[in-house]
């Protein structure tokens, strides 16, 4: 199989990948428990949980299944969750960070002109987004927007929703 992107096209694709990765990193930082606004956003009576297990199925072991699946994803990529960070692998910040890691690995493969490896990491991004982040984060963004209908929090919720929508439509192979 021949590499279809060469020279300037590879650099342009890598630039787009880096922009995507940086947006995931910005979002991850904003929704991290280290953010001073975290308690205001996610504490209180009308809590909007930034945890995948809080959305979707209401089965007894739903959360355990999600965490087990996320552990398999992390193991497959060779990463582990920092116990001093968000604490749970289904936290929005952790899932955003994981997508950034997948994109970084795709960039590395593109730089090495390893078409098969780049395609593998792009496929993983699509699968992870469709199985996890894309399933619940848009609902989270909607609830977050309802909780904070005005100000910078509302703009952040809209940016997250818009970003997730762009990602769901824009995930496609690096090599055509």
Residue 3 counted as domain residue:
no
Residue whose structure tokens are 């994803």 = 73
| Domain count for the chain | 1
CA count, 13 A, side-chain hemisphere, 116: 1
* CA separation for the pair 6, 10 (Å, rounded): 5
Q: What are phi and psi of 117, to 5 degrees?
A: -70, -40
In a domain, 50, yes or no: no
One digit per residue, the tens of pLDDT, for the chain of length 176 reads 234 545 677 778 788 888 989 999 988 888 888 888 888 888 766 678 899 988 876 655 677 899 999 999 999 999 887 766 657 899 999 999 999 999 999 999 988 989 899 999 999 999 999 999 999 999 999 999 998 899 888 999 999 999 999 888 877 544 43
pTM, two decimals, is: 0.85
> Domain containing 96 — which CATH number?
1.10.3480.10
Q: Does residue 103 fall inside a structural domain?
A: yes
Q: Which residue range(s) make up the domain with 117?
A: 8-43+63-170
């Amino acid at each position: 199989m021949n590499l279809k992107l060469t020279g300037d096209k590879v650099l342009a694709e890598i630039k787009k990948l880096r922009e995507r990765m940086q947006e995931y990193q910005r979002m991850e930082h904003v929704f991290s428990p280290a953010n001073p606004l975290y308690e205001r956003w996610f504490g209180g009576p009308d809590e909007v949980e930034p945890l995948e297990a809080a959305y979707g199925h209401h089965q007894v072991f739903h959360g355990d299944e999600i965490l087990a699946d996320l552990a398999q994803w992390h193991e497959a990529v060779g990463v582990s969750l920092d116990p001093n960070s968000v604490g749970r692998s289904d936290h929005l910040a952790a899932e955003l960070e994981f997508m950034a890691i997948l994109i970084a690995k795709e960039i590395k493969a593109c730089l090495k002109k390893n078409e098969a490896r780049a395609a593998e990491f792009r496929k993983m991004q699509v699968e992870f987004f469709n199985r996890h982040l894309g399933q619940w984060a848009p609902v989270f963004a909607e609830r977050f927007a309802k909780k904070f209908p005005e100000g910078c929090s509302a703009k952040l919720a809209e940016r997250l929703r818009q970003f997730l929508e762009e990602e769901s439509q824009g995930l496609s192979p690096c090599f055509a």
